[in-house]
Amino acid sequence: MKPLLMSSYTATSALGVGLAEQIAALKAKQSGIVKKSWETVSFEFCTGEVAGVDEVVLPDAVKHFDCRNNQLAYLALQQDGFETAVLHAITKYGPNRVAVLLGTSTSGILSTEVAYRERDPETGALPVGHRYRQTQNTYSLADFVRTYFGLTGIANVVSTACSSSAKVFAAAERLIECGLADAAIVGGVDSLCLTTIYGFSSLQLVSVAPCKPYDVARNGISIGEGAAFALLEQPERADVKQGIYLTGYGETSDAHHMSSPHPEGLGAQQAMRAALSMAGLTPAEIGYINLHGTATPSNDAAEGKAVTALFGKNTPCSSTKGHTGHTLGAAGGLEAIFSAIALTEGFLPAGVGTTELDPDIACHYLLDNQVANIQHVLTNSFGFGGSNCSLIFSKG
C-alpha cells in the first residue's frame, strides 16, 4: 500500500485529556483505573472513566446530538489542534472530499437506557425529547462529527466490537486509494454505559481489581472509555512531510466461536502476517507490539501464542489496557495513537498492573518502560466473534 500520513491526531482517556496527559501518564506508569460506583450500577467496579465528560456542553448547532458518547467525542476533538487541522483539510480538499470513518461499539446507548427509566407509566412511551437517531444509533457518532465540521462526503461507522476503530484505518486507506476521498478523519469513541457494565459482568469477564494483562493471576477486563481521532492524508498532498505513517494493515475473521478467540490465535496470526506483508516488513523489523491484551485468560493466551509463533520471544510488547481499561470500540484508535507516541517519544510503555508474568506465555512482555528509537510498531485489536485487525505505523 501507499503509506498514509497521520497529519494530526489526538487522544483522550482515563489517563487525561489530550496527548500531553497521555504521554506523561504512560511515562510515569500511571493507571486511570479506579474502583468506584457509577450511575445506577448496583455494585462498585473497576473502571477507566474520563473525568468531566458529563460537564461538556455541545455547541447549539449540534445540541440535538447531546449524549455522553458525543460529549466525549467533542471533548477530544478540541485537543491538540485537531479541529484546526481538519478545518484546514476541508479548505484544501473541499467538504465533500474529507471522509469520516469512525468506530464504536455502543455509541450513545446510555441515553436510551436512561430514557427507558422515564417511560410513560401508562403507555410505556419513551420521553418525547429522546433522540434515538442522534444518540444511540451507531451512526450518530460519525453523523455528529460530520455535522459539526459541515462535511458532505462519505461517512461511516464500523461496529465490530473491540476491533472497530482499528478497522477504520484500513477502510480509509481503501477509500483514498480508490479516489473516493482525499483525506479521512478516523478513530473511535466509546463511553461508559449500563449495557457493557452489566453485560460483561454477567459473562464473568470483569476483574474485581484493576486488570492485569498477561499476568499469571489475570481474571478479566476493566471497562474504560476513550476517544481518539487521526487525520489521514496522502503524504504528497499533506503540508507536513514527516511524521507517523500508516504503512500496513491486516484483517481476518477467526470463524471459530461467537465470543471466544481461536485458542491457537490463528486468525490473529494471519492478521499480523497480512499487515507485515502489506508494509513490506519482516517480523524482526517491528520494534514494539501494542498487544490487544484484555487480561482475560483465553484472550491473552491466544494472542500470546500468535505473537510468539510469528515474532519469537524477543520483540518487546505490552498491553496499555492496564492504563486505560478496555475502551472497547475506541481501543483500536486509542492504541494506534499510543503506537504513534512510542515512535515519536522513543519509549516503549510497560504494561501497568501486571506483576508476575504468565509462564505459559513466552512473548517479551515489558514490565518496565524501555527507551528505544524504533522505526515500526504493530498494534493488535481483536473483537468478539474473532474479528481481528492489526495495524502497522512507521516513523518517516
- Choose among 342, 51, 76: nearest CA to 228: 76
The helix, strand and coil proportions of the chain, stated in percent and rounded to the nearest 5, come to: 35, 25, 40
Alpha-carbon gap, residue 295 to 321, rounded angstroms:
8
223-224 β-sheet, strand order: 34-36, 45-48, 223-224
Beta strand 226-233 pairing with 183-190: antiparallel
Instruction: Decide if 394 contacts 256 (C-beta within 8 A).
Output: no
Annotated catalytic residue: which of 317, 326, 363, 376?
Answer: 326
10 Å CB burial of residue 34 (0-12, 13-18, 19+) is middle
Contact call for residues 326 and 49 (beta carbons, < 8 A): no
- Do 20 and 263 contact (CB within 8 A), yes or no? no
Catalytic residue flag (residue 257): no
Cα–Cα distance measured from residue 140 to residue 272, given in angstroms and rounded to the nearest whole number:
31
Catalytic residue among 292, 323, 363, 389: 292
Catalytic annotation present for 46: no
Q: Is the dihedral of CA 352, 358, 363, 368 positive or negative?
A: positive
Question: Helix or strand or coil: residue 338?
Answer: helix
326 is catalytic: yes
Chain CA centroid to CA 162, Å: 8
Residue 312, SS3 per DSSP: coil
Phi-psi map region of 11: left, alpha, beta (phi>0 left; psi -120 to 50 alpha): beta
**Which one is catalytic: 46, 67, 162, 193?**
162
Active site residues: 162, 292, 326
